[in-house]
Amino acid sequence: MAFHPSQAMIARLEEILIRFERLTGELSNPAVINNREQYQKLSKEHSSLEHTTSVYREFKADLENYEQSRVMQDDLSDKEMAELAAEEVKALEPKLELAAEDLRKLLLPKDPNDEKNVLLEVRAGVGGDEAGLFVNDLFRAYQRYADSNRWKVELMSLTENSAGGLKEVIALIEGDGVYSKLKYESGVHRVQRVPKTEASGRIHTSTVTVAVLPEAEDVEIDINPNELRIDVFRAQGAGGQHVNTTDSAVRITHLPTGEVVQCQDERSQLKNKAKAMKVLKSRLLEKAQQDLKNAQTEDRRSQVGAGFRNERIRTYNFPQGRVTDHRIGLTSHNIDDVMTGEFSAFITALNDHYQAEQMKEEGSEF
């Protein structure tokens, strides 16, 4: 069967191509270059269209060759050329189908948070000290994944437990498309392994919760200072004599919601306050966005990647050397690689699955 692309898709892609070429011209205009705010705005839009435009240009060239070859294969006056054209048609059809599928995904409505930095929060769940130890292990794995993507990781808050693990850790991760890659990591992560303290070799099951929050921009969350209670206190734990003998730690309570954030990593009270405010804004942004989603469509709760913290999304089974994502049924038997930051297989599969679900739900016209 001959390949026939959707005319609606072609029309939309042509609009994007025209817009991209217009932006390319505008970005070389001295008047735009000298206007920093306008230049940054247009550069961001230009960058967002670049990949789609590149894929479409290749698709467009292949489609033109395909259509020419289809005509030539029916030319009975030159049998040899007709056979070559038929081979070209056969080779191009699957390539065009795959490219069209990629383009349909690229035309899906973008998540407005995809390009944002994130607040990554990892907390111990059930399992006592062993859960705290896995918080440490899992956070280090995310750090290594961030390093492989050349992202910057800034520790915002860290609370230790008595066994050398962590009750919770919060970090800001900055870089290109951080939220787009990490947004489906939210949920309950289960670990099955023999704790170091277990003399009998019995396997324990513990859990940690992961939350991935898009970093809030100042314009998005307006916090009334009169609705905040700010307490300062003496920091506890590692950090040296100065940290432990001054009131440098900060706790901020958002009175309308009861949300509490505290930070004690910095020696400066002002720096701790700034970090705590950043975390608070991101949590309030997440709550506002989740409330909006729930109001718009209750059945979003059943979608892949919803990120609810009471969901068991992944199991790390150390005795069997496997990691399983329960949402998509994907299992890796290289747990050592995963724990050194090799999350790409899961992240790619989850994004592909989510896009497929989105296309079904929205009944794509393409």
- Supply the pLDDT for residue 306: 36
**Residue 228 per-residue DSSP state:** E
Give the separation between CA 185 and CA 314, rounded to whole angstroms: 9
| CATH number belonging to the domain at 225-292, selected among 3.30.420.40, 3.30.160.20, 3.40.50.2000, 3.40.50.10490 | 3.30.160.20
For residue 213, which of 278, 297, 282 has the smallest C-alpha distance?
Answer: 282
**Spatial separation of the C-alpha atoms in residues 119 and 192, rounded to whole Å:** 26
pLDDT of residue 285: 84
Distance (Å, whole) CA 275 – CA 218: 13
Q: What is the pLDDT of residues 182-202, one digit of tens each?
A: 999 999 999 999 987 676 778
How is domain 7-106 classified at the CATH fold level?
Methane Monooxygenase Hydroxylase; Chain G, domain 1 (1.20.58)
| pTM flag (> 0.85) | no
> Which one of 3.30.70.1660, 3.40.50.720, 3.40.640.10, 3.20.20.70 gives the CATH number of domain 118-218+306-359?
3.30.70.1660
Report the distance separating Cα 98 and Cα 106, nearest Å: 13
User: Three-class SS of residue 323?
Assistant: strand
Confidence (pLDDT) at 244: 54
How much is the pLDDT for 157?
86
Does an H or E element contain 250, and which?
A: strand 249-254
Q: In this predicted structure, what is the pLDDT of residue 43?
A: 92
> According to CATH, where is 3.30.160.20 located in the chain?
225-292
Label the pairing between strands 249-254 and 152-160.
Answer: unpaired
Residues of the chain with CATH 3.30.70.1660: 118-218+306-359
Q: Which two tokens stand for residue 343?
A: 């999350």
Comma-separated ranges of CATH 1.20.58 domains in the chain: 7-106
What are the structure tokens assigned to 309, written together?
Answer: 């913290």
Alpha carbon distance 67, 327 (integer Å): 41
Which residues in the chain come in under a pLDDT of 50?
219, 238-243, 296-310
| Phi, psi of 332, deg, nearest 5 | -110, 135
